[in-house]
Amino acid sequence: MESGLITLIGATTENPSFEVIAPLLSRVRVLVLKPYTAPVLGEILRRALEDRERGLGGLSLKVEEKALAHIVDISDGDARTALNSLEAAASLARPGEGGTRIVDLPTVEKALERKALLYDKTGEEHYNLISAFHKSLRGSDPDGALYWLGRMLDAGEAPLYIARRMVRFASEDVGIADPQALAVAVSAMEAFRFVGLPEGNLALAEAAVYLATAPKSNALYRAMGKVGVAISEKGALPVPLHIRNAPTAMMKEMGYGKDYKYAHNYEGGYIPQVHLPQGLEDRTFYEPTDRGYEKTVGERLKAWRKKK
């Protein structure tokens, strides 16, 4: 390809970033062919109805606008699907007055039965839908969350995969703002395991609505990110002696546990003392928001840190 000996021209319905190896992808120009819009797809169908040589123009068909619109709606912008659907509906149309064959909405619905949803559980659409679901939850939109949940379930996505994503979301995007969120997500996952399909879908829907309407905080997510940075910067710092366990006499002689302050022996169950290793004593990782229960946690921490 680089020398010009081979000219590669290919077409695929899959996302090339998933299906084509990186060395090859870097040497080609990718052109994205987008689905037809509804007006364009409608025009293609009308042209097929008029074309006597290559279309259905010789069948004396009369297609009602509602029937045509339904074919357009269920075709997902795919002209081949639309034309095949029109042909299937035309084969069921019965001749009326003057020999004209009427294709109405009931005829189309009978011919097509139901829409086959576009979905690939291992490709781009899989990631698109779970992303839309996750972002609907984060955006506090229960309607969007339920819609994308329904789309995935109807298309055959593994329900427990969706449940696992909601468990993750409960900690990442809700956190301490509503500690009950994690319990709801885990309970929904267990309920689905217990009940199964199709009844278990309601447990997933209940969790989705709860998570979408819960107060949001990513303070835990940010805190763990800071911890990761500190560990990579400082390495494996030793545990301070005063908070080490001392199960043997030798460890006690070495200073393990010396000067440790047992919090329950102090007023309010709190006494200032250092729990981080040397070099990180003043580092703050967790910074709560003022949303939901986390506001209460923040006020508590503020009082403790003031004493500290």
- What's the pLDDT at 180? 96
- Contact between 241 and 255 under an 8 Å Cβ cutoff? The reply is yes
pLDDT per position as a tens digit, 227-267? 999 999 888 899 999 989 988 888 888 899 999 999 999 99
What average pLDDT does range 59-63 have in this prediction? Answer: 87
pLDDT per position as a tens digit, 176-214? 999 999 999 999 999 999 988 888 999 999 999 999 999
Q: What is the C-alpha separation between 47 and 56, in angstroms, rounded?
A: 9
| Higher pLDDT among residues 197 and 141, named by residue | 141
| Mean pLDDT rounded to a whole number for the chain | 88
Candidate from 37-46, 131-140, 153-162, 171-180 with smallest mean pLDDT:
153-162
Percent of the chain clearing pLDDT 70 (strictly above):
96
Q: Is the dihedral of CA 46, 47, 52, 56 positive or negative?
A: negative
Domains 38-112 and 124-213 in one fold: no
Q: Is the pLDDT of residue 113 over 80?
A: no
- Contact between 245 and 261 under an 8 Å Cβ cutoff? The reply is no
> Model-level pTM?
0.65
Candidate from 17-21, 163-167, 184-188, 207-211 with smallest mean pLDDT:
17-21
φ and ψ at 102, to 5 degrees?
-95, 125
* Reported CATH class of domain 124-213: mainly alpha
- Domain limits, the chain: 38-112, 124-213, 234-307
What average pLDDT does range 121-126 have in this prediction? Answer: 65
- What's the pLDDT at 121? 54
**Confidence grade of residue 116 (pLDDT, cut at 50, 70, 90):** very low
What average pLDDT does range 20-27 have in this prediction? Answer: 86
Helix axis angle, 105-112 relative to 65-74, nearest 10°?
30
Task: List, as one string, the DSSP characters of 131-182.
Answer: HHHHHHHHTT-HHHHHHHHHHHHHTT--HHHHHHHHHHHIIIIIGGGSTHHH
* Reported CATH class of domain 38-112: mainly alpha
SS3 205: helix
What average pLDDT does range 86-109 have in this prediction? Answer: 84
- What's the pLDDT at 124? 67
What's domain 234-307's architecture? Orthogonal Bundle (1.10)
